[in-house]
């Protein structure tokens, strides 16, 4: 195996602690007879344990060795994979080196462990190639990554040579991309250094779609029109969704990401205290072949908070032009985002400001940087009842419309008033107490 691994060029820059590199070194030591059988077996079992942990984290099944190699291929960000990201392979000299690597990977796919197992008196690799995973809940592993890895692994198993291997891998890169951004829909900032931020994938993101949000058709259409223009490379605007709580603002944005993920749309969730990192976030994603929504949920500022000034500079007004592959989508219960007072209109009289209402203009300048502003208001009583009835029918509740509306009206009076969220909470309650 170590002779095969040594031929990797584009994909050869792996950590020495990776499973592949460790196994390669173990088999090298075995051939050179520099370690005892017990030492070799212990080291192998350690790597098998690591492989089983990876399989648990991503829900791998059947041939874990092939799953692992496939995972390496689609997470390795190198000059070749990044070039193919969302565009596929093009003619170029780099393809020669890539095919050399894929020849090596094909050999690793077909690697026969039987001689090693016989020599050391173990059968763990045979077990790994015929693995039957214990069923687990989706929340326990990254389902999105799992499905893609296993599907690609089965395709690669059927390839006859490095040319077919090349076509399958590059087709995947074109469809999804590579690395963390290729496999996941949404991210948050995990950690930061002075000039760098680390992104953490949001596993098992809510799979809600726009059709799941009852009503608000005009609002959804505005959001869809802007997003479609964005993912298609046309001009689009930053978006602010504002209005009453529980009306579906955050749900709409999650649904948009789910709808356009396969067209290269990704989302990065960022919180108010992280606005100082916005420049670093943009610097790391501006050259990737994806469209990014920087998502700010429940955005608002009190009078004493100045973080909005960082946001203003990033959105529009800084020296550096905002990259065309980035938009900002925000939700807020406040129309103008920043708390305003009557004193803002009297800054000459009370704050010794030289110019009248400059404070007010300063605060309004932030919301004006959102080219699309979409209002989500509380539904009327009639609309609320329609939402309740529709949600009830979707889950199979057999109560009559009159019964549903009567009980829903009682519920909303005790639980937060009329809103889509209240309607959903009411349906959840019925599902837990009423026999369907």
pLDDT per position as a tens digit, 145-160: 888 999 999 999 999 9
Token readout for 232 is 């298609």
What would the pLDDT profile of 279-307 be if each residue is shown by its tens digit? 888 888 988 999 999 998 888 766 655 66
Chain centroid to CA 96: how far?
A: 32
Mean pLDDT, all residues of the chain? 85
CA distance 67 to 412: 49
**Can you point out the beta strands (E) in 223-281?**
239-243, 265-269
| 254 contacts: CB under 8 Å, gap ≥ 6 | 205, 206, 208
| 245 pLDDT more than 70 | yes
How many angstroms separate the first and last alpha carbons of the chain? 58
CA distance 368 to 362: 10
Judge whether 289 and 302 are in contact, CB under 8 Å: no
Residue 342 — pLDDT band, cuts 50, 70, 90?
Answer: very low
Three-state SS for 123-161 is: CHHHHHHCECCCCCCHHHCCHHHHHHHHHHHHHHHCCCC
| In 368-433, alpha helices (H) | 381-395, 401-414, 420-433
pTM over 0.85: no
What would the pLDDT profile of 314-341 be if each residue is shown by its tens digit? 676 555 567 899 999 988 887 666 554 5
What would the pLDDT profile of 78-89 be if each residue is shown by its tens digit? 999 998 988 888
Q: Which residues in 183-195 are b (16+ Cβ under 10 Å) and which e?
A: bbbbbebeeeeee
């Amino acid at each position: 195996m170590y002779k095969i691994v040594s031929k990797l060029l584009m994909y050869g820059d792996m950590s020495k602690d990776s499973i592949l590199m460790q196994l390669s070194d173990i088999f090298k030591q075995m051939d050179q007879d520099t370690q005892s059988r017990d030492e070799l077996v212990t080291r192998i079992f350690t790597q098998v344990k690591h492989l089983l942990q990876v399989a648990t984290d991503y829900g791998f099944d059947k041939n874990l060795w092939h799953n692992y190699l496939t995972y390496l291929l689609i997470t390795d960000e190198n000059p070749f994979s990044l070039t193919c990201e969302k565009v596929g392979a093009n003619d170029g000299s780099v393809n020669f080196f890539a095919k050399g690597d894929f020849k090596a990977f094909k050999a690793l796919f077909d690697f026969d462990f039987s001689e090693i197992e016989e020599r050391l008196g173990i059968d763990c690799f045979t077990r790994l190639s015929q693995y039957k995973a214990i069923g687990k809940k989706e929340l326990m592993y990254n389902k999105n990554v799992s499905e893609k890895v296993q599907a690609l692994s089965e395709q690669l198993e059927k390839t006859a040579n490095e040319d077919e291997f090349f076509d399958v891998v590059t087709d995947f890169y074109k469809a999804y991309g590579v690395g963390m951004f290729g496999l996941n829909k949404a991210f948050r900032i995990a950690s930061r250094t002075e000039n760098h931020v680390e992104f953490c994938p949001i596993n098992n993101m809510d799979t809600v779609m726009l059709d799941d949000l009852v009503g608000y058709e005009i609002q959804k259409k505005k959001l869809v029109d802007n997003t479609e223009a964005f993912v298609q490379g046309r001009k689009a605007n930053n978006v602010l969704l504002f209005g009453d709580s529980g009306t579906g603002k955050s749900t709409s944005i999650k649904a948009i990401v789910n709808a356009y993920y396969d067209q290269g749309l990704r989302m990065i969730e960022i919180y108010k205290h992280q606005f100082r990192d916005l420049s670093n976030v943009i610097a790391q994603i501006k050259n990737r072949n994806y469209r990014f929504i920087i998502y700010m949920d429940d955005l608002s500022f009190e009078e004493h908070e100045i973080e909005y000034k960082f946001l203003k500079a990033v959105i529009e007004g800084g020296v550096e032009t905002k990259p065309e592959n980035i938009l900002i989508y925000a939700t807020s219960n406040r129309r103008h985002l920043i708390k305003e007072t009557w004193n803002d209109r009297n800054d000459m009289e009370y704050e010794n400001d030289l110019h009248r209402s400059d404070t007010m203009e300063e605060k309004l300048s932030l919301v004006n940087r959102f080219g699309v502003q979409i209002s989500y208001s509380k539904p009327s009583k009639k609309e609320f009842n329609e939402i309740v009835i529709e949600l009830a029918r979707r889950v199979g509740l057999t109560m009559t419309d009159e019964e549903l509306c009567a009980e829903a009206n009682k519920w909303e009076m005790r639980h937060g008033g009329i809103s889509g969220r209240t309607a959903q909470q009411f349906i959840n309650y019925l599902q837990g107490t009423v026999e369907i």
